[in-house]
Amino acid sequence: MSQIILICESLGKVKKLQEYAGSNYTVIPSYGHIRELAKTGTQSLGFNLDAQKKRVSCNYITRNSNSKKVLNKLLDAIKNSNQVVLATDEDREGEFISWHLWDALNLGNRGIKVMRVTFNEITQKAVQNALANPRQIDMNLVNAAKARSCLDKLVGFSLSPLLWQTGTGAKSAGRCQSAALHLLAEREKAVQSFQPEDYWLVRSHYTENLVGVVHLNNKELRFSSEEEA
Q: Which residues contact 210 (CB under 8 A, 6 or more apart)?
A: 203, 204
pLDDT at 52: 78
Q: 207: pLDDT confidence band, cut at 50, 70 and 90?
A: low
Q: Which CATH class is domain 4-142?
A: alpha beta
Q: 22: pLDDT confidence band, cut at 50, 70 and 90?
A: very high
Average pLDDT, stretch 92-116?
A: 95
Alpha carbon of 38 to those of 41, 106, 132: distances in Å? 8, 19, 37
Asked if residue 206 has pLDDT above 80, the reply is no
How do the domains of the chain map onto residue ranges? 4-142, 197-229
Distance separating the N- and C-terminal Cα atoms of the chain: 92
The 10s digit of each residue's pLDDT in 164-201 is 888 787 777 777 888 888 899 999 999 999 998 888 87
In this prediction the pTM is 0.75
